[in-house]
Amino acid sequence: MKFVLASHNRGKLKEMQEILAELGVEVALQSDVGLDLEPEENGSTFAENAAIKAKAVMEASGLPAIADDSGLCVDALNGAPGIYSARYGGLDSDAARYQLLLNNLRGATNRAAHFHTAIVCAFPNGDVIRAEGDCQGTIAFAPRGESGFGYDPIFYVPELRKTFAQLTAEEKNAISHRGNALRAFAVELKKYLENN
């Protein structure tokens, strides 16, 4: 069975292919099936935004479509930047966004945070599969590490004593919000495929 990933990100595609290959599922980027969609993400939750993207790509391609939406939620900032993580403060670089977040946390004693991912798969027959995943951590006082992207240099995992940007890809995938959501999604998709 062929699925379309509602994304332009080859890194996400590779991750998705690795986890879903054992189910006999082929996953392609939307550009690989001739699509270049950027649906407006105007939902109020990660799951709503993922569903908007999955539905748009499914309708345009006629194939089952998978989409995800992820972000960083900081307790002391009332869950911000949350669904606005990729456009926090209207800034256009990862470093500028995480520096703004660090500035906004100046003086805060509670630095607890979590990354969250919602994955939605929309089928042409109207069926929908959803899965979510989290990774708990804290916000470091300064960026550390060279790997990763986004807020990875300031997201600190106390058990590992490292930021996401200091982890190897294998270490990060084992504990990350996206890895956790993908594993949960694979379980739900397996059940769905066995019953349909």
Mean pLDDT by 10 residues, the chain (196 residues): 90 83 89 91 96 97 96 97 94 94 96 97 97 97 92 96 93 91 94 92
| Whole-number Å distance between alpha carbons of 145 and 125 | 45
Q: What is the pLDDT of residue 9?
A: 84
Is 168 strand, coil or helix? coil
Check if the beta carbon of residue 101 is closer than 8 Å to that of residue 81: yes
User: What pLDDT was estimated at residue 43?
Assistant: 95
- The CATH number of whichever domain residue 172 belongs to comes to 3.90.950.10
Would the pTM of this model clear 0.95, i.e. be above it? no
- Look at residue 104 in the predicted model and tell me its pLDDT: 97
The answer to whether 69 is a known catalytic residue is: yes
Q: Which H or E run includes 27?
A: strand 26-29
Residue 21's pLDDT is 82
pLDDT for res 127? 97
Percent of the chain that is helix, strand, coil (3-state, to 5):
45, 25, 30
- Residue 57 has phi, psi (to 5 degrees) of -70, -40
Q: Which domain holds residue 18?
A: 2-195
Residue 115 confidence (pLDDT): 97
Structure-token pair, residue 127: 């069926």
Using omega within 30 degrees of 0 as the cis cutoff, is the peptide bond preceding 81 cis?
yes
Catalytic site residue from 69, 92, 94, 127: 69
Total tally of structural domains belonging to the chain: 1
